[in-house]
Amino acid sequence: DVLHPETRAVMVSAATMLDEDLIDELEAAGVDEVKVRTALNCATRFGLCAKCYGRDLGRGGLVNVGEAVGVIAAQSIGEPGTQLTMRTFHIGGAASRAAVASSVDAKSSGSVGFNTTMRYVTNSKGELVVISRSGEIVIHDEHGRERERHKVPYGAILAVKADQTIKAGAILANWDPLTRPIITEFAGKVKFENVEEGLTVAKQVDEVTGLSTLVVIDPKRRGSAKVVRPQVKLVDPAGNEVKIPGTDHSVTIAFQVGSLVQVRDGQDVGPGEVLARIPVEGQKTRDITGGLPRVAELFEARSPKDKGVLAEMTGTVSFGKETKGKIRLQITDPEGGVHEELVPKEKNILVHEGQVVNKGESVVDGPADPQDILRLLGMEELARYIVDEVQDVYRLQGVKINDKHIEVIVRQMLRRVIIENVGESDYIAGEQVERSEILDTNDRLRSESKIPATYSNLLLGITKASLSTDSFISAASFQETTRVLTEAAIMGKRDELRGLKENVIVGRLIPAGTGMAYHKARKAKDEMDDAERRAIADAEAAELAGVTEGGASETNEGTTAAE
């Protein structure tokens, strides 16, 4: 139920369809967000229920039972596609970098809070410097409800403190948009290692100011065979290396190629001071493919070429021994488990030694792979990603598509699951099964108090999803007809004729619209006939046994007449 923020009275009860009038009421009362049902979480085994789909956008009311929402979704996405194809596919890469934000401000008044992963240190000027990658500033109103939330990048300077009350428009944090800083969290004296001019660093003299800076150069460009990475260690006044509290690791900060060193050897630094800056300009401008190819790429769930890497678990980043051309990136979770990833040296690593990352956070720059998002962040996050990306393409062309159409398609892409632990079922580990089938099986196993099978979600592209449906008639009519039919014949498959395509092919009324009523009536008649046949058979058997004297035949005729 949606409660009024102040009076706590129920404004809208659960399972009510929100229309424009209700939404105006909620907005007037200051309700920001409402949890709504979506096609993705619908528990209906075949198709969707009307409440999860919501409004029929063609008629304005709740969707009718038997509406072919899948066809409508496909048409809603396909029709504007005819306008996309005619346009250029590549929108220049420069545009994606033009609007670089350098600060974040509050849109509403309230009190400031930070999320749990926000970590910051105070530097010598008394400024709060953010040292976490996934820090967020959250603003709550006077009733303690969250009004907005802003991501704050690493190295930003916070302009507010926790629990501070602010007015709308106040700046919350600002940062340098053109460089990414490398910041020390600890105090100490800088001790350079492997920082040798001409070998790992080169002097650059600014022509305007005449100041010289040290720039870390690419190992490929220098003559030495041994790969040495320039890095900074911190030493205390006694000359011992500063250790990370609670561990015996010394504080080591490695410099990436292209970073500008901001400190001198032997300089005293305090926490929050910038040791080096990496010019963001160095990041490659990605060509944004727009138009239909991008939409097709998303719906086919293809992995992008130079895909980024997401953190496999929550933990601390460290770098292992480097191999030829690759950097060994390790994440250690609080229990001590280690996940290792080999990253090519030319890739842009977004994290540094000793940094805490959350599961599913980006650690290597590049476009996200939908399979990774599903595996690490779950179905909702994946759906949000696909919906946003598809909408971006259409929005550029000024086309408005309702999210529910894309969600219906994503639901079909997530229709199959992969068996992990078989429990007491008849499946094989690694087998792909329809979600509805495994849910039925697990219900049956639970009712017999056996161990149900566990499974993980599987994302299939739309082509693959259509080919792997349970209906072989539908799959054969789509692609690879001979393969589908031979497989169906070998396995002795049975087609239940549940969908539209298979019914059209065999020439029956489709189970949608008025055909839905016809099929329901037919089913009822089939079941009723069985009962009647049984009654007739019983009566005949009784007659043969001579139990009834002449009355049974009339009842028989009576039943057939009634039918």
Q: pLDDT tens-digit profile of 293-350?
A: 888 888 888 888 878 888 888 888 887 777 777 888 888 888 878 888 888 877 777 7
CA distance 219 to 300: 39
CA distance 460 to 78: 19
Choice between 84 and 511, residue whose per-residue pLDDT is larger: 511
Strand partners, 309: 364
Choice between 354 and 305, residue whose per-residue pLDDT is larger: 305
Q: Which of 113-122, 188-197, 286-295, 428-437 is least confident?
A: 286-295
pLDDT confidence of residue 141: 80
Question: Is the pLDDT assigned to residue 288 strictly greater than 70?
Answer: no
Closest among 70, 16, 56, 66 to 413, alpha carbons compared? 70
CA distance 402 to 390: 11
CA distance 511 to 497: 9
Which CATH fold would you assign to the domain 181-282? OB fold (Dihydrolipoamide Acetyltransferase, E2P) (2.40.50)
pLDDT confidence of residue 558: 46
CA distance 350 to 171: 26
Task: Give 44's pLDDT tier (boundaries 50, 70, 90).
Answer: confident
pTM of the model: 0.70
CA distance 393 to 90: 11
CA distance 333 to 67: 49
pLDDT confidence of residue 505: 92
Q: Which of 222-226, 269-273, 449-453, 485-489 is least confident?
A: 222-226
Provide the CA 376 distance to its chain's centre, in angstroms: 8
pLDDT confidence of residue 221: 53
Which CATH fold would you assign to the domain 409-506? PTS-regulatory domain, PRD (1.10.1790)
Question: Is the pLDDT assigned to residue 364 strictly greater than 90?
Answer: no
* DSSP assignments along 464-511, one per residue: HHHHTSS-HHHHHTTS-HHHHHHHHHHHT------SHHHHHHHTPPPS
pLDDT confidence of residue 367: 82
Closest among 466, 424, 465 to 448, alpha carbons compared? 424
Neighbour-count burial of 496, counting CB atoms closer than 10 A to its CB (0-12 exposed, 13-18 middle, 19+ buried): exposed
Q: Which CATH architecture has domain 308-366?
A: Beta Barrel (2.40)
Closest among 504, 537, 542, 395 to 80, alpha carbons compared? 395
Closest among 81, 146, 78 to 112, alpha carbons compared? 146
Task: Give 486's pLDDT tier (boundaries 50, 70, 90).
Answer: very high
Question: Is the pLDDT assigned to residue 370 strictly greater than 80?
Answer: yes
CA distance 150 to 190: 34
CB atoms within 10 A of CB 467: 17
Please determine, looking at this structure, whether the domain spanning 100-177 carries the CATH number 2.40.50.100: yes
Task: Give 96's pLDDT tier (boundaries 50, 70, 90).
Answer: very low
CA distance 534 to 546: 18
Close Cβ partners of 264 (under 8 Å, ≥ 6 residues apart)? 190
Q: pLDDT tens-digit profile of 499-519?
A: 888 899 999 898 888 888 888
Q: What is the mean pLDDT of residues 111-122?
A: 84
- Please tell me whether residue 302 adopts helix, strand or coil conformation: coil
Q: What are phi and psi of 164, to 5 degrees?
A: -80, 145
Residue type, 232: V
Q: Cα–Cα distances in Å, from 393 out to 85, 90, 388, 412, 436?
A: 11, 11, 9, 21, 32
Task: Give 226's pLDDT tier (boundaries 50, 70, 90).
Answer: low
* DSSP assignments along 13-48, one per residue: -TTPPP-HHHHHHHHHHT--------GGG---SSS-
Question: Is the pLDDT assigned to residue 182 strictly greater than 60?
Answer: yes
DSSP letter, residue 248: S
CB contact at 8 A, 181 and 155:
yes
Output the CA torsion 52→58→64→66 (10° steps). Answer: -100
Domain 308-366 and domain 409-506 have a common topology: no
Mean pLDDT of the chain: 80
Q: What are phi and psi of 122, to 5 degrees?
A: -100, 125
Q: Which of 201-210, 220-229, 260-269, 360-369 is least confident?
A: 220-229
CB contact at 8 A, 313 and 331:
yes
CA distance 376 to 356: 17
Domains in the chain: boundaries:
2-91, 100-177, 181-282, 308-366, 409-506, 514-562
pLDDT confidence of residue 95: 45
Output the CA torsion 418→361→385→135 (10° steps). Answer: 140
CA distance 208 to 206: 6
Q: Tokens 């706590």 correspond to what residue?
A: 8
Q: What does the block give as tokens for 95?
A: 């545009």
CB atoms within 10 A of CB 52: 20
Strand partners, 183: 274
Q: pLDDT tens-digit profile of 22-38?
A: 888 888 887 777 888 88
Listed in order, strand segments (DSSP E) in 302-350 are 309-310, 315-319, 326-332, 338-344
Provide the CA 198 distance to its chain's centre, in angstroms: 45
Q: Which of 114-128, 199-213, 542-556 is least confident?
A: 542-556
Counting DSSP H helices and E strands in the chain, the numbers are 15, 31
